[in-house]
Structure 1
């Protein structure tokens, strides 16, 4: 009898074991960027529905795409190169078009902010201003980019520092993209959106801004007068989309505006 009672008492969890389990339990993150929540709660499901194709139609598109790429390869590799004619490089595209499912919906993979400083050719200390401005608007310490080749026209030699860049991923990426879409772009008077034919064919997009746009960031407004040199910058948004239409759907769902081409006046008519 005493042995059975002892066994029952041994199965009762003690305070230390309960506290240990509570301490080791993985808690949910206390903060998530607004744009990240918007993507996971709304945009991802919408992309899955908009890009869904029946299996037979998807297989037909895959076959057409493979035949087209095979024809391009045969055309490039089958003809002998002409030394008097410059041949264009064949752009390496992402293999295949995956079927639209919830687990492989396109998402923003990373953002690269790039600042080129021409004044650094004469004085490399001007690049410090670009590095500090890059750190202010992104929250990430920038990386110096050096020239890979010589250019006599620009008095450029190999190894000279000419630009700076910062690569963003995770929460910092979503926070920067949120500020760019909700704060900076609406305050630009002459910006109407990305062109519909923008993109590199693999779902990545690049936005270019002049020197006046960098002062529209909230963090930059306070310390704008402390920078002796302000230059323009470019933002490259890398997505996992395999084609430009998928990338446009993704960025449009996140709030990035796109500019539709207007019809010529000759085609317009009045009722």
Structure 2
């Protein structure tokens, strides 16, 4: 289940056998199977818009852009605003089983402020990041100087891991099935979250990293644990498609609740 280890033998020029082992994955992630077998077809159906409705939406979008470019009635059009409105945005393709939105990359990022005083503090955050992701982390160094933070160019201040393939799906599966349900004060992402292109970011404090199953038994061995950020990069063009994809992976989104009007009694 956890992969097989194959042993290869090769005879060198001196006649001595050299042994080498390599990890070979013999299974596919559960979340990856769920996406390719079930979720991808569901996203295609849910994202379908009839041609007549799509045509009306395009006409309404053009009218809205013209109204925003011309400004209020009786005022001359603003050339700067008109130029910004004419900039074409990426159009969302027709939903099919081949171009359904999918998860491209997950980046886990840890920033250690204590590393400004002593760079060895970053080692604890680096090892914690490698423990929860199962992949070697990359050290990020400062690109500019910051006098107020006593930051110099080239100082190590953060670490990150870029996950793709089965490791990416395994991390997302652990996050939504094991970590998020154990958090006491987390309701989900806001509906207006995202960068406008279907990508989302979630930040967690230092207490959440101890909820991962790999960290439960060794949490006390880390002298310094900081918060981390998870960035989800999808192939969606707009936020609604990306939000639909992440909802299929059980990532919660928070609906804005209307506050009830105050009632007065005589």
In 2, the alpha carbon distance for the partners of 1:65 and 1:169 equals 36
Taking a change above 3 Å as real, the CA distance of residues 93 and 165 of structure 1, as seen in their structure-2 partners, is: farther
Cα deviations by residue, 1:69-106 (Å, 9 ceiling, x for unpaired): 996xx636959xxxxxxxxxx9x996211111111100
* Distance in 1, Cα, partners of 2:128 & 2:28: 25
> 1:54, CA displacement in angstroms?
2.0
Question: Cα deviation per residue 1:101-151 (whole Å; 9 max; x = unaligned)?
Answer: 111100111100000000000100111111100100001101011111111
Q: Mapping of 1:74-85 within 5 angstroms?
A: 75=80
C-alpha change, 1:41 and 1:78, in structure 2 (3 Å) is: closer
State the Cα deviation string for residues 15-55 of structure 1 (Å, max 9, x = none).
xxxxxxxxxxxxxx841111111111211111111110123
SS of 2:261's equivalent in the other structure is helix
Count of aligned pairs between the two proteins: 229
CA distance in 2, matches of 1:255, 1:204: 16
Structure 2 match to 1:238: 233
Structure 1 residues 226 and 51, CA gap change in structure 2 (3 angstroms): same
Is 1:112 aligned with 2:107?
yes
Residue in 2 that maps onto 1:101: 96
Query: Take 2:164 and 2:261, find their aligned partners in 1: how far apart are those partners?
Result: 47
| Cα 1:50/1:145, change in 2 over 3 Å | same
1:180 counterpart = 2:153: no
| 1:203-223 residue CA offsets vs partner (Å, 9 max, x unmatched) | 000000000000000001111
Identify the residue that residue 51 of structure 1 maps to in structure 2: 47
2:128 to 123, 126, 133: 133
Task: Give the TM-score, by structure 2 length.
Answer: 0.79
Q: More helix per residue: 1 or 2?
A: 1
Instruction: State which structure, 1 or 2, has the greater radius of gyration over its C-alpha atoms.
Output: 1
Give the structure, 1 or 2, with the largest relative contact order (CA under 8 Å, sep 6 or more).
Answer: 1
The answer for the alignment partner of 1:35 in structure 2 is 31
SS at match of 1:208: strand
Which position in structure 2 is the counterpart of 1:265?
A: 260
Distance apart, 1:267 and its partner CA: 8.0
Q: Which has the higher strand share?
A: 2
- Match of residue 212 from structure 1: 207
In the alignment, structure 2 segments of 5+ residues that lack a partner are 1-24, 70-78
Check 1:99–1:65 CA distance in 2 against 1; reply closer, same or farther (3 A cut): farther
**What is the TM-score when the length of structure 1 is the normalising length?**
0.77
Distance 1:101 1:136, change over 3 A: same
